[in-house]
Amino acid sequence: MRAVLADLSVPRYLLSAVPATRRLGGMLSLRDDLAVPELPDAPGWMLLRPELAGICGSDVAVARAKSSTVLSAFYSARRQILGHEIVVVDDHGGDRFALDPVLSCVHRGFEPCRSCREGHPYVCERFDQPGVTGCRSPTQGFDAALGGGWGEFVVAHRSQLHPVGSTPSRRAVLAEPASIALHAALRWRRTGDRAVVIGPGTIGLLTVAALRRLHPDLDITVVGPGALRGSTGADRALDSGPHVVQALAEVHGGRVVRPRLTRTPILERGVDLVVDCVGRPGTIDLGLHLLRPNGMLVLVGGAGRQKVDWSLVWNRQLTVQGTVNSGPEPALGGRTTMAEAVQWLADPAYPVDGLVTHTFVLPEWREALDTAAAGPRAGAVKVTLRPNADLPLVAGFTAGGGRAGLA
Ligand SMILES: [Zn+2]
């Protein structure tokens, strides 16, 4: 079969000698000679064909050899077919599904570990152990054993599949990032009326949409660049930087307190929740300065070494909460975030039609990766690939329903 294969057998220290601009896609290649993935020797597994697959920031990080070295403990596969944001088609029945890429004990054929028993399969304690799947990673798309979204075939367990009916492809492909965003939004138990989401990429915009859906009256500010930043339900959009503190003080009637030696002021009477979807020192720093005492900083998606002054965490008794993947949620009566997200995506009033900005066929994967890596500079939010060009995309729903055009 044909797929984009990432070969991680090249030692990292050799890659780091190559300039970053030439590294993008350096280990990746389009191959026509790969074996169709085999079904694991256990009930419930199916061979499926990806209709549309998203490019995630984590895929770009793999292509750039910029993944966390600590997390290599959980992503030990040498050969990867990337792509874990996937709409798939059952080749026999023609049914369409969104695929939940998390592979926990139940899929690997193990007795449930403590995380799985307690309802948190997204932090399963056996992510590095392949079991019957042969997969050496927490999810589909980081190990070639089960195929991945950027290939003609992928293998998945029935329990991973959420029917999407005739939901348009450009919406259904958002099921995985939308469930990540919902999982992040649900980490906050509402304590107040004001939230800030930093980073208007796919996850950030979907986090705004999730917070808006969960809390219709919440005041939401989105911070960062991008033409679509006001489109998924934020009350206002601001460029990133220390001036955000002053701007929010004026909007909400807060007070600006200036440290003697550092540049970013502290917002007194600040916001209740900051969701950081970027994970860089500057955004984490801004988030800490915007939170009121006892507020919560939720970190979504990013990982790696950060140089940040964390003193406000102690001084203002902040909670810092990391999140990863998605799964069953007590707040949803035990349903999974993906089941909920798939339902939202089928509702034209859930304002995410504009998020898929680019679609490429598989042979154009290099251009697709470059576009995804360029982000707002290329007018890109979610860039997608069509691994099977003969599978028609499902159109429908019109853009709108959000608050596009807000400042
Ligand atoms: Zn487990």
The pLDDT, as a whole number, for residue 407 is: 35
In angstroms, what is the span from residue 119 Cα to ligand 1's centroid? 9
Between 46 and 400, residue with greater pLDDT:
46
Q: pLDDT higher for 50 or 10?
A: 50
Residue 236 has pLDDT above 70, yes or no: yes
* 339 Cα to the center of ligand 1, angstroms: 20
| Average confidence score pLDDT of the chain | 91
Convert the pLDDT of each residue in 333-358 to its tens digit.
999 999 999 999 999 999 999 999 99
pLDDT of residue 403 exceeding 60: no
Tens-place pLDDT, residues 356-375: 999 999 999 999 999 999 99
Give pLDDT, residue 71. 81
Cα of 127 from ligand 1 centre, angstroms: 7
Average pLDDT of 204-224? Answer: 98
Alpha carbon of 189 to ligand 1 centroid (Å): 26
Identical fold for domains 3-174+352-386 and 188-323, yes or no, is no
Expressed in angstroms and rounded, the spacing between residue 144 Cα and the centre of ligand 1 is 21
Does the pLDDT value for residue 4 go beyond 80?
yes
CATH code: domain 3-174+352-386 is 3.90.180.10
Of residues 75 and 205, the one with the higher pLDDT is 205
Q: How far is the CA of 215 from the centre of ligand 1 (A)?
A: 32
Instruction: Measure 324 CA to ligand 1 centroid, in angstroms.
Output: 15
CA of 112 to the centre of ligand 1 (A): 5
- 275 bridge partner residues: 197, 298
CA of 124 to the centre of ligand 1 (A): 4
Domain ranges of the chain: 3-174+352-386, 188-323
* Structure confidence by residue, pLDDT tens digits, 174-187: 999 999 999 999 99
Q: How confident is the model at residue 60 (pLDDT cuts 50, 70, 90)?
A: confident
CATH architecture of the domain 188-323 equals: 3-Layer(aba) Sandwich (3.40)
For 15-32, what is each residue's pLDDT tens digit? Answer: 555 555 444 455 789 999
pLDDT of residue 304: 74
pLDDT tens digits, one per residue of 63-113: 877 767 788 788 888 888 999 999 999 988 899 999 999 999 999 999 999
Distance 114 CA to ligand 1 centre (A): 7
Percent of the chain whose pLDDT exceeds 70: 93
Q: Which residues contact 133 (CB under 8 A, 6 or more apart)?
A: 40, 103, 107, 108, 109, 145, 146
Tens of pLDDT, residue by residue over 271-285, are: 999 999 999 999 999
CA 113 to ligand 1 centroid distance, Å: 4
Per-residue confidence band for 305, with pLDDT thresholds at 50, 70 and 90: confident
Mean pLDDT over residues 146-152, rounded? Answer: 95
